[in-house]
Structures are given as C-alpha cells and as structure tokens.
Amino acid sequence: MTDKSQVAIGLLGTTLDAGRSQDRWSSWRPTVAICMQPDFVIKRLELLHGLRDKTLANRVANDISAVSPETTVKLHEIEFGDPWDFERVYETLFKFARAYPFDTDNEEYLIHITTGTHVAQICLFLLTESRYLPGKLLQSAPERDRKAPGNIRIIDLDLSQYDRIAWRFRQEARDAVSYLKGGIDTKNAAFNQLIDRIEQVAIATRDPLLLMGPTGAGKSRLARRIYELKKMRHTITGDFIDVNCATLRGDGAMSTLFGHVKGAFTGGTQG
C-alpha cells in the first residue's frame, strides 16, 4: 500500500458525465464515480474540459465535492478544435503533460481513460506508456444497472510487472536472434553481442542499414534474414532485391539503385 497521495487526471465526458436522465444521481457518471469508490481516496482530480463545457465541468466538480469532500477538483480549460483529429489532440495533451508539475516522490498519478473520444483515450494511453504522463491507467465501468459507483481497474503499463507478458517479449527477442544466426548457436561472445545489437536496432528502425565486412563474411545472407524478420514484423514492404554493386557502371548504377525517369539516358526505355 502506497503512502503517496492519489491524483487522477482525466477528460470531462460531455455525455456520460452529464447523466442520461433528469436526475443525474440515478445514472452512472464515470468522473463522479471514480471519486465514490469505497476505500479508494482520490486526493486531487485534474479535470480537463473544453471552453463550451465549463458549466458541466463546474457541476461535476460540485457533485464530487458533495460525495467526496476529501477530493480537490482542479479544472483545466483545453481546446482540441476537432476532437477526432489525432495530431491536434495528441499535441494538446502533450503540451499539458509537459507543463504539469508532476511530483512523483509524493504523488501517484492515475490517468482516467474512460471518458473523451476514442482518439483522446488513445493519446492518453500513448502519453502514459511513454511516461510523459508518469502514472498508471485508470478504467471505470458501470454495473449492470448503470448506477454509481460501478467499479474501477488500475493498469500499470510497466511490463516488468507482468511476468507472462515480459516472458513472451523475451522469448520473441531470443527467437529473432536465433533466426538472424540461422539457427546455429555459437559461443563466440563478440558475434553474439553483434547479433543481439542487430536484433535490437534493425527490428525497431525503418531507416536504411549499412552492413560492412570483408568478402565472404555473410553480409548478404544476414541482410536477407534482417529483411525477412522485419517483414514478419510488418515494418517493411516490398521484395528483397540483391544487387552486386561491383557490376554497376555509370548511369546504370544510379538507375539500378534509385530508379530513373523514362528517357533520362540512352537505353533508359522504362521508368
């Protein structure tokens, strides 16, 4: 059990938080409900809302004060423009995260991802996973009768906390290294270190790779295996093309490597 104060950060749900009936207390409202959980105290709620939703935000803040007087609600006015514009939403939430004075020594942060558009929820997930929002995910859900307080679930994105998932990632990495080696194990420490590094870098990047070494070292074979592994991971498309650069001369070299416009040079009959 942590001694840190729990701070929730979330978006105002313009539909769900308003309630679905004339009596808003008779329906489940996620932002209010997370502050009504038994034996679960949110010390502060950072509630993000749009300019046009200020009235609803104030009403939700007042309702939270009524059911959870120990919770301080701070309202933050933000504007997405188009709430379905992924780039705009991410940029807005990113700016909020960079400007927020996080105090991880004394506070534990819970990122509420039940409210907001699907785009906003994805952006909150990405910002939490990348640690720009240094906390855990908080999901809330209603009971069948959709009355408060419903239930909550806290998700720690630190994969080291999940043995089976972490084991699966380690196994995938081992399989990839074995594939790059051609299934042949070796006790050569330098070679093993090289292949481990290639697996870490080559699989993660979409940038071109340059393999250097003496003739007969196996560069072409390794290049093909890197290509096949990357294609299995869906990080590249197209076919693998093996070109012997020693045979290239003049205009043909540039054409073979980078393509050309039809008629760009004598013999360039196809683009």
- Listed by start position, the domains of the chain span 5-157, 163-258
Quote the pLDDT of residue 143.
86
**217/212 Cα distance (integer angstroms):** 9
- Class (C level, CATH) for 5-157: alpha beta
Global model pTM greater than 0.85: no
Q: Give me 198's structure tokens.
A: 């290639």
**9/186 Cα distance (integer angstroms):** 50
Quote the pLDDT of residue 120.
95
Tracing tokens 């043995």 back to the chain, one arrives at: 163
Contacts of 265 (CB under 8 A, 6+ apart): 251, 255
Task: Please answer whether residues 52 and 58 qualify as being in contact, where contact means their C-beta atoms are separated by less than 8 angstroms.
Answer: no
Q: Angle of helix 189-202 relative to helix 219-232, nearest 10 degrees?
A: 40
**52/54 Cα distance (integer angstroms):** 6
**223/211 Cα distance (integer angstroms):** 8
Q: How far apart are the first and last CA of the chain?
A: 67
Quote the pLDDT of residue 193.
83
Tracing tokens 């990405």 back to the chain, one arrives at: 126
Tracing tokens 């808003």 back to the chain, one arrives at: 24
Q: How many helices (H) and strands (E) in the chain?
A: 8, 6
183 sits in the region (left: phi over 0; alpha: psi -120 to 50; else beta) called left
Give the 3-state secondary structure of residue 66: helix
Q: Outline where the chain has alpha helix (H).
A: 30-33, 54-67, 86-99, 118-129, 163-180, 189-202, 219-232, 250-258
Quote the pLDDT of residue 94.
96
pLDDT tens string, the chain, 271 residues long: the values are 468 999 999 999 999 999 866 678 888 999 999 999 988 999 999 999 999 999 999 999 999 999 999 999 999 999 998 889 999 999 999 999 999 999 999 999 999 999 999 999 999 999 998 899 999 999 999 988 777 688 999 998 875 555 666 677 677 777 777 877 776 667 778 878 888 888 777 777 778 888 888 888 788 888 888 888 888 777 788 888 888 777 777 766 777 766 666 655 555 555 5
Quote the pLDDT of residue 261.
63
Beta-bridge partner residues of 8: 45, 110
Task: Please answer whether residues 112 and 31 qualify as being in contact, where contact means their C-beta atoms are separated by less than 8 angstroms.
Answer: yes
